[in-house]
Amino acid sequence: MEIRHLVTFITIVEHEGFTKAAEHLGYAQSTITLHIKALEEEINYPLFDRIGKRVILTETGKKLLPHAQKMLELYHMIKEVTAAQGELTGNIVISIGETLLIYRFPPIIEEFKKLHPHVNIEWHQLDSVQYKENLMQGKSDISFMLGTEVHDPNLYSEKLAEEPMMLLYPNSFELQRDIVRSNLLFTERGCGYRTLFEQCIEEYQIGITSNIEFWSIEAVKQSILSGMGISLLPRITVEKELKEEKLSGQQYKQNLATQLLYPKNKWISPQVEAFIEIVRKHASLW
C-alpha cells in the first residue's frame, strides 16, 4: 500500500471529487483513477460509489478513512524525526480567525520566518463551527481562536490572553438617547463575539432599527466610523481609533479569550512546537 495512494484517497474525500483532487495534487485525472484502482484491488473492495457527478464513500471507504489519515500522520512523523537534529523544514497548517491574524500574529510570523525560513505555513480561515472536526481529521495542525473558553475532553486548550470586548459607537452617538433605536452591525453567525453582542443587546435593552451582517471585522469597524451603527468588537481591533478619538465605546463586562487548540494525544512536530514556543513568548506580553 503506497503512501501516495492514501494521499490521493484522502484528497478526494476532502475535495469531494476526483477532478478537484487532481487539480489540487497536480495529477492527471487518469492518475487519480489509477491510484484508487490500485487501493481497491489491494483491499478487494470499492472505496467510492459514483452517483451522477458525485462520488461518495462506500462503507469500506468510511472505515478506511481514519486509518489512512493515521498512516499519513505516522509517515510525516517518520520523515520529520531528523528535523529536530538540524534545520527545521516541513509544513504547518494553521487555522485562525481574522482578528488574531491581523492584530496579534504579524510579529509572530515575522520572527518565525526569520528563525525557520524553510518551514512553510499554510493559513486557513478558522471555521467557528467546524474547527474541532478539522483538527480531529488532521485538516489543521493547530488552531487559534478568539471566543469563549473551550473545554473539550478531546482537545488540548490553552488560554493565551484575555481579550476585553468593547461596545462601540460613533462619536456623534449619545448612549442614553440613541441606544433606544440603533442599527446593529453584526459579524457572521457562529462568531464568538456575535453571540456576546446578542447577549449585550438584551442586557442593555438596545432598540433595533435594522440588522446589518458583515463577513469582515474591518467592514464592521469602518461602518461604525462612518456613523452607520453600533457593534461589539475586541478592543485590540480598535486600539488605534480609540486613542485617536475617532470613535467611542465602553468596555463590556465579559471578556473573551485567545486560545491555542490541538487534539489531545496528537504527536506535535518540531516545527509546530517551535511555532507554539514563539506564540507563547509573544502572548506573555499581550
Q: What is the CATH number of the domain that holds 34?
A: 1.10.10.10
Query: Is 242:262 a contact under the CB 8 Å cutoff?
Result: no
Query: Is 134:96 a contact under the CB 8 Å cutoff?
Result: no
Q: Which of 143, 138, 155, 122 is nearest to 10 (CA)?
A: 138
Q: What span, in angstroms and rounded, lies between the C-alpha atoms of 248 and 169? A: 5
Q: Please report whether residue 87 resides in a domain.
A: no
Give the neighbor-by-neighbor strand order of the sheet with 248-251.
231-234, 165-169, 248-251
Query: CA torsion 181→186→189→194, rounded to 10°?
Result: -80
The reported pLDDT for the residue numbered 245 is: 92
Q: Please report whether residue 156 resides in a domain.
A: no
DSSP string, 93-118: EEEE-HHHHHHTSHHHHHHHHHH-TT
Shared domain for 239 and 193, answered yes or no, is yes
Domain containing 268: what range? 92-151+264-283
Shared domain for 208 and 228, answered yes or no, is yes
pTM equals: 0.69
Tens digit of each residue's pLDDT, the chain (286 residues): 788 898 899 999 988 889 888 888 888 888 899 999 989 888 898 999 887 778 889 999 899 998 888 888 887 777 666 555 567 888 999 999 888 999 999 999 999 999 999 999 999 988 878 888 889 888 899 999 998 899 999 999 999 999 999 999 999 888 777 777 778 888 766 567 778 888 888 887 776 677 888 888 888 899 999 888 889 999 999 999 999 999 999 999 999 999 999 998 888 889 999 999 999 999 999 9
- In total, how many domains does the chain have? 3
Query: Is 166:235 a contact under the CB 8 Å cutoff?
Result: yes
Q: Please report whether residue 40 resides in a domain.
A: yes
**Residue whose C-alpha cell reads 461596545 in the numeric block:** 167
Cα 65–chain centre separation: 23
The reported pLDDT for the residue numbered 176 is: 73
Boundary residue ending a domain (54, 80, 106) = 80
Residue 124 in grid coordinates: 486557513
CATH of the domain at 180: 3.40.190.10
Shared domain for 71 and 97, answered yes or no, is no
Q: What span, in angstroms and rounded, lies between the C-alpha atoms of 276 and 49? A: 41
Q: What span, in angstroms and rounded, lies between the C-alpha atoms of 267 and 147? A: 25
Shared domain for 67 and 206, answered yes or no, is no
User: Is 19 buried (19+), middle (13-18) or exposed (0-12) by CB count in 10 A?
Assistant: middle
Shared domain for 175 and 97, answered yes or no, is no
Shared domain for 147 and 274, answered yes or no, is yes
Q: Please report whether residue 157 resides in a domain.
A: no
The reported pLDDT for the residue numbered 30 is: 87
